[in-house]
Amino acid sequence: MVWARYKHIINDYKSMTTQQHTLKESASISGVGLHTGNLSTITFCPAPENYGFRFVRTDLPGSPEIPALADYVTDISRGTTLTCNDARVHTVEHVLAALSGLQIDNCRIELDANEPPVADGSALPFAEKMLTVGLERQQALRNFIVIEQTVRYTDEQRGVDIVALPNEDYRITVMVDYNNPALGSQHSGIFNLEKEFMTEFASARTFCFLSEVETLHKQGLIKGGSINNAVVILDRDITQDELTAMLRGIGFTDEIMLGSNGILNNNHLRFKNEPARHKLLDMLGDLSLVGAPMKAQVLAARPGHAANIEFAKKIRRTVAAKKTNVQAPAKSVPQITVAKSVLDINAIMRAMPHRYPFLLVDRIVELDAEVGHIVGLKNVTLNEPFFMGHFPAKPIMPGVLIIEAMAQTGGLLLLGAGEPLENKLALFVAINNAKFRRQVVPGDQLLMDVTMTSKRFNTFSLKARGYVDGQIAAEADLTAAIVDANK
């Protein structure tokens, strides 16, 4: 239902992998804070490029700003609290998860109290409100934190293990393990924010166990909690009378039934593994505090706010120690020197059987046969024969020929890197995950970056990307085989 309602808006920002985005206009939600119980209104406002996320306490003199960075986390008691000087804001994770899930880069988050509204205990109300006003594409390219080497955080005492692995996209997989028959062990994973966040994760609600309720109340927390904004799971035997007396003792006045499905009031889960999905949602929000979207595969066992924040701080320290981990723009053009050719057109023609009008590589400017990496160039001019029919009034290089150009570049890598293998051909046997991000037109220089990802006997897997002016134009996973040319 959510996807259908906002499909037209979500489709509009599928190019978000390259450019920064903010909101088209402001959007507000009012309600009660989960832990403080304070009434508040949160307003999501457009922000300039490279602004990031900043909370603004409009109820305090001077409207102080609190940057949404792990360095400003001061408390993780059942939520994430940010503090800058004397300004503080509690329980920011669901707000940040909504922003991150929608791949928004810049937002001024105005708040007239010290905690955002809890709404229904998920990130969905925030995300829906932002989608109703729409997203604005900005000119600046996105900055990414690229995980190039494994980053790990472990808390053996709590059984927590979080690891970030190199990956071209941002993925999170979470496993939680509860000694409770209503939940048991659960896991969940998000692999595509555009397709999965709104439909599969934004609506996952916060939860707690009944045995925690009294303790949390004694700690001064959950003052705004209710059966309508949290899932309360039974984890001990209790009668209806005992339950009523306990809840009355801590100020709950609503009529609450013991239920028969292991959850108070027989509240039904929105997903069978809703607790695991909510843990992932919390992690998505907490990890936004690294300061930029990530390119990584994050695997987490038994995560919580404390572990999430320590992990985010570790990533920030890693980035600070090695500034090259920050890449801009997304999938940006490889940093190479193109003044000299590794292989000129004559060397390419000696290595490749292709000829006019199907030779689509003009120059090889980087080549590392040992690691399996090659970069080639194709100068696209109006004289290309395919422009006569595609299209005469608006010449555009066909996507299939962009793939072919990348494939030929990969073929040069496989065919001995310029030292042709006698009587051998590189034949491409599969193309997967092909995506076209922008048009290639006369006057463009198509830069093709191809990396070998695996080898099995005479079959090779390649990751190919084509760039124009630093922006990705196309990408695909290719499979090729070296065969005997005489057969």
CA atoms within 13 A on the CB side of 22: 21
Name the β-bridge partners of 450.
374, 464
Q: Are residues 360 and 301 part of one domain?
A: no
Q: Are 129 and 257 in contact (CB under 8 A)?
A: no
Q: Are residues 274 and 408 part of one domain?
A: no
Find, among 358, 375, 357, the residue nearest to 366 by Cα. 375
Handedness of CA 221, 227, 230, 234 (dihedral sign): positive
Condensed to tens digits (0 to 9), the pLDDT of residues 80-122 reads: 999 999 999 999 999 999 999 999 999 999 999 999 999 999 9
Question: What is the per-residue pLDDT for 252?
Answer: 73
Q: Are residues 314 and 463 part of one domain?
A: no
Q: Is residue 259 part of a domain?
A: no
Q: Is residue 125 part of a domain?
A: yes
Biggest CA pair distance of the chain: 89
Q: Are residues 397 and 453 part of one domain?
A: yes
Find, among 372, 375, 370, 371, the residue nearest to 343 by Cα. 375
> Which residues fall within 8 angstroms of residue 368, CB to CB, at 6 or more apart?
374
Question: What is the per-residue pLDDT for 329?
Answer: 43
Main-chain dihedrals φ then ψ at residue 309, nearest 5 degrees? -70, -40
pTM more than 0.85: no
Q: Which domain holds residue 378?
A: 345-484
Last residue of a domain, one of 294, 327, 360: 327
Q: Is residue 16 part of a domain?
A: yes
Q: Which of 8, 305, 354, 373 is catalytic?
A: 305
Q: Report d(CA 214, CA 11) in Å as an integer.
A: 45
Q: What 3-state class would DSSP assign to 209? A: strand
Question: What's 442's domain CATH number?
Answer: 3.10.129.10
Q: Are 332 and 141 in contact (CB under 8 A)?
A: yes
Q: Which of 187, 354, 373, 390 is catalytic?
A: 390
Answer yes or no: 390 catalytic.
Answer: yes
As for how many domains the chain has, the answer is 2
Q: Are residues 402 and 309 part of one domain?
A: no
The conformational region for residue 222 under phi > 0 = left, psi -120 to 50 = alpha, else beta, is left
Tell me how long the chain is.
Answer: 487
Question: What is the per-residue pLDDT for 445?
Answer: 92
Question: What is the per-residue pLDDT for 458?
Answer: 81
Q: Are residues 293 and 182 part of one domain?
A: yes
Task: Work out the angle between the directed axes of helices 93-101 and 124-133 (0-180°, nearest 10).
Answer: 50
Q: Is residue 381 part of a domain?
A: yes
Answer yes or no: 305 catalytic.
Answer: yes
Q: Are residues 349 and 316 part of one domain?
A: no
Q: Are residues 126 and 21 part of one domain?
A: yes
Question: What is the per-residue pLDDT for 17?
Answer: 55
Q: Are residues 314 and 452 part of one domain?
A: no
Question: What is the per-residue pLDDT for 216?
Answer: 79
Find, among 428, 422, 408, the residue nearest to 348 by Cα. 408
Q: Are 366 and 377 in contact (CB under 8 A)?
A: no
Find, among 268, 304, 300, the residue nearest to 286 by Cα. 304
Q: In which residue ranges of the chain is pLDDT below 70?
A: 1-17, 179-182, 322-341, 416-423, 485-487
Q: Are residues 403 and 317 part of one domain?
A: no
Question: What's 88's domain CATH number?
Answer: 3.30.230.20
Q: How far is CA 135 from the centre of its chain?
A: 17
Q: Are 125 and 119 in contact (CB under 8 A)?
A: yes
Q: Are 39 and 129 in contact (CB under 8 A)?
A: no
Q: Are residues 65 and 172 part of one domain?
A: yes
Q: Is residue 332 part of a domain?
A: no
Q: Are residues 138 and 8 part of one domain?
A: yes
Q: Is residue 218 part of a domain?
A: no
> Which residues fall within 8 angstroms of residue 271, CB to CB, at 6 or more apart?
200, 204, 277
Q: Report d(CA 227, CA 247) in Å as an integer.
A: 11
Q: Is residue 289 part of a domain?
A: yes
Q: Are 465 and 474 in contact (CB under 8 A)?
A: yes
Q: Are 42 and 97 in contact (CB under 8 A)?
A: no
Q: Is residue 175 part of a domain?
A: yes
